[in-house]
Amino acid sequence: MELIISGGHLLSWLIFIPLIGAGLLFFTPGEENQRRLAFVVTSVNALLSLKLWSGFDAATAALQFGERFAWIPSLNIEYALGLDGISILLVMLTTFIMPLCVLGSWTYISKRVKEFMICLLVMETAMIGVFCAMDFVLFYVFWEMMLIPMYLLIGVWGGARRKYASVKFFLYTLAGSVMLLVAIIALYLANDHSWFIPDMMGKGYSMSFQVWVFLAFFLAFAIKVPMFPFHTWLPAAHVEAPGAGSVILASVLLKMGTYGFLRFGLPITPQATLALAPYMLWLSIAGILYGGFTALAQSDMKKLIAYSSVGHMGFVTLGIFVLNTSGVEGALIQMVNHGITTGALFLMIGMIYERTHSREIKDHSGLAYTLPIFVSFLTIFALSSLGFPGTNSFIGEFLILVGAFSHNKIIAGFAIPGAVLAAAYMLRLLQHVLFKGKGRTDISDLNFRECVTLAPLLILVFWIGLAPEPFMNVMHTSVEFLLNQVNASQAVAALAGQ
Amino acid sequence: MLFLPELFLLGGSLVLFFVTLGEDKGTLAKNITIAIGLGLTILCAWGINNSGTMFFGAYAVDFYSQFFKLVIALGLTFVLLLAPDLKGVNTKIQAEYYLFMVLSVLGLVMLVSSAELLTLFVALELSSFALYLMVPMRDDTTGERKQMEAAIKYIMFGVISTGTMLFGMSYLFGLTGTTYFIELLPALQGMVGNPVALLAVLMVLVGFFYKLGIFPFHFWVPDVYEGSANATTSFIATVPKIAAVAIMIRIMTLVNPADSSWLVLILMIAAVASMFYGNLAALVQTDIKRMLGFSGIAHAGFVLLGLLAMDELGYARATFYIIGYLLMNLACFLVVCNVSVQGENVSRDDLKGLYKRSPFLALVLLVGMFALAGIPPFVGFIGKFMLLTSALQADHLILVILAALNTAIAIFYYLSVVRVAFTSDPEDRPDVEVGASTWAVGMILMVVIVYMGIAPNQILTMASQAMKVIM
């Protein structure tokens, strides 16, 4: 895997514009100005990221927009950035979801607006950094840096049980990543003292080394995804986080775990991946079914969406570990879909919470009669979430299931009920919110700002649902290359065995 | 010229001595001490490239000593500027308090320049005795005379470990017939396999294990941290540790690396025991200073990770780590000193709702605690990371895994402090006003903690350069 150095510093700008914005915010007086500034900064970043789309060469699997120079020479640590078909969609998802987060918390957050926006912007820096970093230390710095603003988002602006939720989130993620640190150092020593990630791939490490490193990766990434049985922090964090916090969690943070598997797990420890993939598949199935059944039993809308996330991310990990093209491509597009759809659902719950100060399903019945715009949006996003044909998630789940069936029919058979469960809990939610009872008349429908917040996500739901080709094209070469890396290791090992 | 910083400190302490003859001269004494701190910093920075020996080779001025002197001077200045006034010490004896502080710094400055065992011993005692006297100078606020208990424990443990150290020095002299480091080094390097030589080195190290609070010489730490005035603790917890690490490195270089497996094993056990003991005990503390005491024991264990690599890089990284530790700890003590209304101890509950009562202090606390916990982009992360790298490079895999586990344990108590400050309501606790000097020091500390975290190269290169001088 090579890194194509580009003359510009596009990725650096994308990473550091939010941070610069956070610095400016520090000195900006007036809450309204602070909101506007945060919106401008995130929007500028979103527009700038369009240059990635136009400049991206889908024909090569190499890392593009590369930047590489020494950062801490005495430790060989470099500042290396790059982007390929696996990360480009995730970076763009991040840059586009952030302005919506700012819009979505325009009135939701009424106290300490400045600090809130600073946390959001620092989050953006860290998240884009994670997806672009090609030096392992740089990656780890961004990976851990995320914890502090996210902790504050939940802990300061969160709901009633925010203390419990924020601490649980922090401890889980940190405990998961300490062993990642040890694995990183071990890889560094095994690679002639280089932290450069592409250097670590395809080195044919011994099987036991690979297994240990893979397990360290697994602990860190499975907690982040979250895979069953490491998911318990997620509902707590989702429920207590403010609207924008939930959106960031669902749309971007969860993707880091699966991105970690794709970027590190598969190419760096291919043989361990092949050997342990069956276990990963069964854990994914467990997550799909567990998430689905638990979501069915929730009375709190946010909890319902949170458990549905566990199920959806189970589909993503299922797609990754079937290790074939349609599975991995489906997983990638499903990561984006989940970011769009679940992000939108969390935004909508935030909007209704502002009006009723409740997240209980029973407090929001019969809204079809009084809030027509709200329920229209809700219906579309809910249908998207359950994978209705014509919406984005259908494409993702379909590809994943195709991949799963061609890999192992029994495992795929277990995943099917997951899709049915998704329909069950989402339709139950819809039925309650839309038609049950008379409907409240004391609350107003969505205003213009809120419609503007949701509209881009709505467009993407149908765009990916009806014409996924442009999105699939971007990732195709990189996915093929990735799978070749994994399969080549098997051939190498077979040769060595003879 | 070589002796200028020491002469300056000596002159300063004479001035302070005359100030103590008046009554209630606390403020004047404090201002003089701040001037001494600033002046010392300037002198040390100015003379950083000086080199030469004095007093028949017993006192060496080189980049190694000057580097540490500069750090000590900066540490002193920060400690003085942390809080607007000295709370918890009777105004009648405040002038004396500052006199002892300056004398203690004089001892530490001489310590890092000592090139001979007896000079080292005298300098160490000068710095220690001044500290022994500062501990009981606190007002008796609780009626339990805790400051006396702390002082007694401090001096008893201090005397015993110093005695052990002296015993070790006598062995070194008996084996080699010299007390000069420059002659000890080749003489001891030749004694591969001599158990007495190793024992002697270990016994000398014990004196500094005590200073640094390494298990099993840590017993004084929590009680002294808790029993001393906040300002005293912020001094004891930071500045002397710099000098202790400096001297430990100097003594470690005496051991022939070929003969070191035995010593490395002992250091490893001490490191792991310190980390686990410190972190586990810190989990249940409610007094912030006591918690920082236990966390200090754990961090001392981390410093050992660098030392037991027994090469220039490991020593440089340990030095980097202890400098980072100084800064992070000072940031936490800045909050403790300012939140305390009348110099009483600060419990975790006293920090409730700090982000509403003083957003600035809450931010400093956040940076300090997360830096101690080793979260990027702060200096605690890169320091810990480098130490883990060098330990793994030396094939101490188990040690590295245990250390990584400790990072995960430690986050719990650091986080619980941040949690109280950011997610609890202040209830009826008063707002905290922050003075200009405190604000400036807090800003500087935060900036440096982040700067060293993302650009450690400069300090690291300086530390490596310093290590080259003595190896």
Q: Tell me the per-residue pLDDT of A346-357, one tens digit each, with 9 for 90 and over.
A: 998 888 888 888
Distance, in angstroms, between A200 CA and closest chain B CA? 17
Determine the pLDDT at residue B316: 92
The pLDDT of B146-173, averaged and rounded, is: 90
Q: Taking a C-beta distance cutoff of 8 angstroms, is the pair A335, A85 a contact? A: no
Report the b/e string of B335-370 with b at 16+ CB within 10 A.
bbbbbbeebebbbbebbbbbbbbbebbbbbbbbbbb
Residue from A351, A403, A386, A125 nearest A248 by CA: A125
Taking alpha carbons only, the member of A104, A97, A225, A101 closest to residue A173 is A225
Cβ separation A185–B400 shorter than 8 A: yes
* Best mutation target, A72, A78, A208, to test chain B (most B CBs within 10 A): A72
Residue A496, pLDDT score = 62
Judged by DSSP in three states, B332 sits in helix
Q: Does A185 contact B401 at a Cβ distance shorter than 8 Å?
A: no
d(CA B323, CA B70) in angstroms, rounded, equals 11
Residues 6+ apart with CB under 8 A from B29: B16, B19, B20, B94, B95, B97, B98, B99
CB of A148 within 8 Å of a chain B CB? The answer is yes
C-alpha radius of gyration, chain B, whole number: 21
pLDDT digits (tens, 9 = 90+) for B70-90: 999 999 999 998 877 888 888
Question: What's the confidence (pLDDT) of residue B263?
Answer: 83
pLDDT at B192 over 80: no
Q: What is the pLDDT of residue B181?
A: 84
Contact A182 B400 (CB under 8 A): yes
* Residue A169 touches partner B, C-beta closer than 8 Å: no
Q: How confident is the model at residue A497 (pLDDT cuts 50, 70, 90)?
A: low
Residues of B within 8 A of A141 (CB-CB) are: 376-377, 381, 454
CA distance B446 to chain A (A): 14
pLDDT computed for residue A126 by the predictor: 93
Q: Does B370 sit within 8 Å of A174, measured CB to CB?
A: no
Q: What is the pLDDT of residue A368?
A: 77
**Terminal-to-terminal C-alpha distance of chain B:** 25
Q: Which residues of chain B are within 8 Å of residue A166 when distances are taken between CB atoms?
A: 419, 423
Chain A residues in contact with B355 by the CB 8 A cut-off are 156
Q: Chain A: nearest CA to B122, how far in angstroms?
A: 37
Q: Pick the closest to residue B315 from B162, B449, B464 (CA basis).
A: B464
Considering CB atoms only, which of A141, A167, A175 is closest to B419? Answer: A167
Contact A178 B405 (CB under 8 A): yes
Interface of B with A in 365-394 (CB under 8 A): 366, 370, 375-377, 381-382, 385-386, 388-389, 392-393
pLDDT at res. B126 = 92
Averaged pLDDT, A456-484: 89
Task: Give me the half-sphere count of Cα atoms (radius 13 Å) on the Cβ side of residue A141.
Answer: 29
Residues in B closer than 8 angstroms to A163, CB to CB, are 419, 423-424
pLDDT score of B190 more than 90: no
Q: To probe the interface with B, which of A135, A185, A191 has the most B CB atoms within 10 Å? A: A185
pLDDT in tens, A161-172: 888 888 888 888
Q: Inform me whether the pLDDT recorded for B397 exceeds 90.
A: no
pLDDT tens digits for A317-328? 999 999 888 999
User: DSSP states of A286-335 as a string?
Assistant: HHHHHHHHHHHT--BHHHHHHHHHHHHHHHHHHHHHT-SHHHHHHHHHHH
Using an 8 Å CB-CB cutoff, list chain A residues near B397: 186
User: Looking at the complex, does the CB of residue A286 fall below 8 Å from at least one CB of chain B?
Assistant: no
Min Cα separation A79/chain B (Å): 11
What integer is the mean pLDDT of B163-172?
Answer: 91
The pLDDT value recorded for residue A495 is 66
Partners of A79 in beta bridges: A69
Mean pLDDT of all residues belonging to chain A: 88
The pLDDT score that the predictor gives to residue B188 is 80
Mark yes or no for CB contact B404/A188 under 8 Å.
no
CB-CB: which of B419, B460, B461 is closest to A155?
A: B419
Q: Do B415 and A185 touch (CB under 8 A)?
A: no
Judged by average pLDDT, the poorest of A273-287, A411-425, A465-479, B257-271 is: B257-271
- For residue B83, the model assigns a pLDDT of 77
Alpha helix locations (H) across B253-311? 261-283, 288-307
Flag whether residue A186 sits within 8 Å of chain B, measured between CB atoms.
yes
Look at residue A399 and tell me whether its pLDDT is greater than 80: yes
As a whole-number percent, the residues of chain A with pLDDT over 90 amount to 27
Determine the Cα angle at B238 with ends B271 and B309, to 5°.
30
So where are chain B's domains?
Answer: 4-470
Chains A, B: CB contacts under 8 A, how many? 86
Closest CA to B111 of B101, B132, B126: B126
Q: Which one of A152, A171, A181 has the shortest CB-CB distance to B404? A: A181
* C-beta separation of B403 from B367 below 8 A: no
- Tell me, yes or no, if A139 comes closer than 8 A to chain B by beta carbon: no
Which chain B residues touch A181 with a CB distance below 8 Å? 385, 388, 404, 407
pLDDT at B448 over 90: yes
Q: Is the dihedral of CA A296, A302, A303, A308 positive or negative?
A: positive
- CA A439 to chain B, closest CA, distance in angstroms equals 36
Beta-strand relationship, A63-72 and A3-5:
parallel
Least confident of A140-149, B133-142, B445-454: B133-142
Q: Do the Cβ atoms of B392 and A140 come within 8 Å?
A: no
- Given a cut of 80, whether residue A273 has pLDDT beyond it is yes
pLDDT of B256 above 90: no
Subunit contact B366:A148, Cβ cutoff 8 A:
yes
Going edge to edge, which strands form the sheet with A77-83?
A: A3-5, A63-72, A77-83
pLDDT at res. A439? 67
Beta bridge partner(s), residue B138: B89
Q: Quote the pLDDT of residue A494.
A: 65
Please list the helix, strand and coil fractions of chain B in percent, rounded to the nearest 5, in that order: 75, 5, 20
Query: Quick one: pLDDT band at residue B199, thresholds 50, 70, 90?
Result: confident
Whole-model pTM: value is: 0.91
Q: Inform me whether the pLDDT recorded for A413 exceeds 80.
A: yes
User: Residue A412's pLDDT band (boundaries 50, 70, 90)?
Assistant: confident
Over the range A132-155, which residues count as b (16 or more CB within 10 Å of their CB) and which as e? bbbbbbbbbbbbbbbbbbbbbbbb
State which residue of chain A sits closest to B405, comparing Cα positions. A178
To the nearest whole Å, the CA of B422 is away from the closest chain A CA by 6
Picking from B313, B415, B462 by the largest number of A CB atoms within 10 A of its own CB, the best residue to mutate is B415
Unique residue bearing structure tokens 């264990």: B301
Q: Provide, as residue numbers in chain B, all residues whose Cβ is less than 8 Å from the Cβ of A186.
A: 392, 397
pLDDT at position A493: 66
Say whether B389 and A75 touch across the interface (CB within 8 A).
Answer: yes
First and final CA of chain A: distance in angstroms? 27
Longest dimension (CA), chain A: 76
Q: Are A312 and A255 in contact (CB under 8 A)?
A: no
Among all chains, which residue has been given the structure tokens 């079937």? A322
Structure confidence at residue B334 (pLDDT) = 92
